Structure 1
Amino acid sequence: MEYQILTDATADMSEEMLEGYPKLEIIPMQVEVGGEQFLFGPGGNLTVKQFYEMQRSGKFASTSQINPQTYYDHFEPVLKNGQDIFYLCFTSGLSGTYNTANMVIADLKEKYPERKIICVDTLCASVGEGFIVREALRMQKEGMSMEKLQKWTEEHKLQVCHWFTVDMLDHLRHGGRISAASAAIGTVLNIKPLLHVAEDGTLKVMDKPRGRKKAFKLQMSKMEQGWLPELGKLVVIGHGDSMETALELKETVLSKYPDSEVRIADIGPVIGAHTGPGMLALIFWGTTR
């Protein structure tokens, strides 16, 4: 039975990551920047470039979960087209989006009893979510059934390792991730927090290195400690309007792991609202989640 993979605009990916794989449908999300409402994703009115320009001008951003009507608008045409749905959702640890999706799915299952709808809480975010979506597309291309893909995703999603460094602390403070005092002290001391997406899907600060070089080394050490290329050689580097640094990290990864498949992707507004410009992420299959 043919099935359509869907995800939400939190899943940050580059076009290069999707080339040669089955069609993916991305559900847009609402973002507020400087008091103005925008839509990010297909058909939206906010680009990544515009978003970071606004942040660099001093504007703060916030996000909201996908509303039920938006889910109906994207799920129902797929079902009417005679396809089943496999939806990879933004982590429930950072949003109520997963619960909203399941509410809509329960209704649609009654309306379309002949169709199958699977919703997976990826427990991943941003380029980490994009990473597992791309890998699911790889499995689909190889002929994996939707039921087997669900089992595969549930078995492996906690092996998607997310390691982020943040360049500016103002946006973490604004989002309530750190206190105003911590942000002020951290800025003076040039602290570049190392964060990760934990097993419960929440964002946590793991270390507080001083300077980008030390943060950079800590990221690489996490990959060196537990990379699992047998699961897949894809490595994703995400950046918040910091391509030069992303390219530097790519060169470092390739020099140590020349057979890795390194891709660079923008970190979009949904996570960028909390992390700000200059964020750098390293995503890989591994044991150091």
Structure 2
Amino acid sequence: MRDFIITTDSNADLPADFIKEHQLTIIPQYYAFGDVVYGDERNLTPEEFYTMMEKGDLPTSMANNPAVIRDKFEKILQEDKDILHIAFSSTLSGSYNNVVMIAKELMEEYKDSTISVVDTLNVSLGEAFFVMEAIDRKKSNQTMDQIKLWLENNRQNSHVEFTVDDVNHLYRGGRISKTTSIVLGIVNIKPLLYLTPEGKLASKGTIRGRKRSLSALVKNMGDHITSETRCKRVGIVHAKAIEDAQFVASLVAETYPDAEVIINDISPSIGTHAGPGAIGICYLVLPEESM
């Protein structure tokens, strides 16, 4: 049986030390300020990126680069290893389709190789938790096919919810109307958004005040976690809002003390649409027997 390598993309927002520890191959997602494109050799730290946004610079995001995908995948195939790629939601980017296209081309060239691509229908640490599960299951000697099947069967058990501090970025990204953005800004009402089972962004309503919106992220976890289910990891992601992220993490620790809490930055290609101050919560809810 051939060995296989687990890969993913930078939109998974995996902590840098985790990537290094597991020597993960990461397909970069790109973003730009004007004509300057970032995401691979040239990059900005999250702090630099969000500071530029605060100063009024407006970035754009773009899909991954097929040439870069081919290069990274081919290096793995040349080592006689297969690939299990865990991808960003296909409904939010063309990146998934780019990976599938290159995978098909490479399997025609490397006849004995397999590249399996999993559409997580997820973003940020919601996507990352599937990578972590895949790594855990590989260590337990599960095959690539077994892991892929588990990932696809459990996509609907992932939950991602977030709120933003400045609704104008949602307007720029086409998520809300200009009138709505003006009204929300005036009355200090914060939107709550979530990722649907189909991997699309949708509104969960609004709430007045920043602190109340952050508390609601944790309160809403109770809609999915029951006495018969558990989540072993909870992710808190933020866009230059570490103190708010720590506040949310403290609420999670009080309510779900058995869960591992991970805090990380929202990557620029996602943060382009959320803006500075965005806070998200991500968690995978599983039946007890699946833990």
- Aligned partner of 2:205 in structure 1 is 207
Q: Secondary structure at the match of 2:51?
A: helix
- CA–CA distance in 2 between the matches of 1:239 and 1:130? 15
- CA–CA distance in 2 between the matches of 1:95 and 1:19? 26
**Structure 2: which 5+ runs fail to align?**
287-291
- Aligned partner of 2:244 in structure 1 is 245
Aligned: 1:7 with 2:8: yes
Q: Secondary structure at the match of 1:92?
A: coil
Cα drift, residue 137 of structure 1: 1.8
- Aligned partner of 1:140 in structure 2 is 138
Alignment of 1:1-289 (within 5 A): 1-15=2-16, 17-18=18-19, 22-33=22-33, 35-40=34-39, 43-227=41-225, 232-286=231-285
Q: Identify the range of structure 1 (151-160 vs 220-229) with the bigger mean alpha-carbon deviation.
A: 220-229
Kindly report the root-mean-square deviation, in angstroms, between the aligned alpha carbons of the 2 structures: 1.8
C-alpha distance after superposition, 1:208-253 (max 9, x if no partner): 1111122123211221222278565011111111000111111111
**Structure 1: which 5+ runs fail to align?**
none
Cα drift, residue 258 of structure 1: 1.3
Does the 8 A contact of 1:195 with 1:207 survive in 2? yes
C-alpha distance after superposition, 1:139-170 (max 9, x if no partner): 22222211101001001122110010111111
CA 1:67–1:138: 2 relative to 1, 3 Å: same
Cα drift, residue 23 of structure 1: 2.5
Letter in 1 for 2:23: K
Does the 8 A contact of 1:91 with 1:121 survive in 2? yes
Cα drift, residue 193 of structure 1: 0.8
Cα drift, residue 286 of structure 1: 2.9
Does the 8 A contact of 2:190 with 2:207 survive in 1? yes
CA 1:79–1:231: 2 relative to 1, 3 Å: farther
Percentage of matched positions with identical amino acids: 35
Letter in 2 for 1:242: A
C-alpha distance after superposition, 1:12-42 (max 9, x if no partner): 122355575x331111122012x1423225x
TM superposition score normalised by structure 1: 0.93
Q: Secondary structure at the match of 2:37?
A: strand
CA 1:81–1:200: 2 relative to 1, 3 Å: same
- CA–CA distance in 1 between the matches of 2:232 and 2:195? 20
- CA–CA distance in 2 between the matches of 1:8 and 1:231? 27
CA 1:243–1:128: 2 relative to 1, 3 Å: same
Does the 8 A contact of 2:7 with 2:25 survive in 1? yes
Q: How many residues align?
A: 284
